[in-house]
Amino acid sequence: MNEVTILTRLRHRNLVSLYGCTSRRCRELLLVYEYIPNGTLSCHLHGEIGIVVYSSMADKNQDSHRTASALAYLHACDTIHRDVKTNNILLENDCCVKVADFGLSRLFPNDVTHVSTAPQGTPGYVDPEYYHCYQLTNKSDVYSFGVVLIELISSLPAVDITRGKDEINLADLAMNKIQNSAFKELVDPCLGFESDSEVRRMIVSVAELAFQCLQRDKELRPSMDEVLQILRRIESGEEEDNHVEEVEIHGGVNGISCSGPIFPSSPPSPDSDESILLKTTKSLPPATKARHS
């Protein structure tokens, strides 16, 4: 019923379409969606079930742009997806993106600061501030999308227990690599980072955007609409190129600092998914973007 309530309000070319559902009197409650034939983004990135992997960074960037467009639309419609991940990004035969699975989604009125609710989502993608504070905001989707961006440039899974304990979560691995100037260790070597300057420009720009999305303090993250605008500039080549010169083939992105976790000392601990809507009493500070020295 949650999915029906949300999806009947929405129409976007990069959201999976709900065609209908069975009535409440039926023995089985079923939702009928459009058929998306070409698997999930996760399958394409990680080579599951024999699906061919992406052939270029340009294709990956185009799909990240389309996904961001869908999420920005959701936020404009007062909806938080709450389970953004590569398994919920479906691909059509022409590789057009369709964001799916709204079972955990929540309506989010524009006159509230957050919804207090028990954390839900997929390990590796869950906003750490939401996890610790029980406060869901649209910036929680931004964090999850940041993990998706890192998956796109690294081709690594969001969670891998065979990695070191500080790098099991891909978000932690990415932040460590960027901060320690080990950028090359993060990038999928098949993308041509060392040999193609245009690919390098796109990867560096996407990594910088992901770095902003993965800030632990939600106020330091951009909005989804800002993310979409940045991805459009990256795709068109209109963003400033001077930062590309600062990246060494064997180094990282210089001049970026990372904020540590900022959590209240006593977060609420609701035992249900009932929302508590807190009215906005003052304007929130704008998102602070990472800058280059």
Gyration radius (Cα) of the chain, Å: 19
Q: Is 67 helix (H, G, I), strand (E, B) or coil?
A: helix
Q: How many other CB atoms are found less than 10 A from the CB of residue 262?
A: 14
Q: Which two tokens stand for residue 44?
A: 């394409």
Strands 89-91 and 97-99: antiparallel
Polymer length of the chain: 293
Q: How many other CB atoms are found less than 10 A from the CB of residue 18?
A: 17
CA distance 223 to 220: 10
Phi-psi region of 255 (alpha: psi -120 to 50; beta: other; left: phi over 0): left
**Which are the catalytic amino acids?**
83
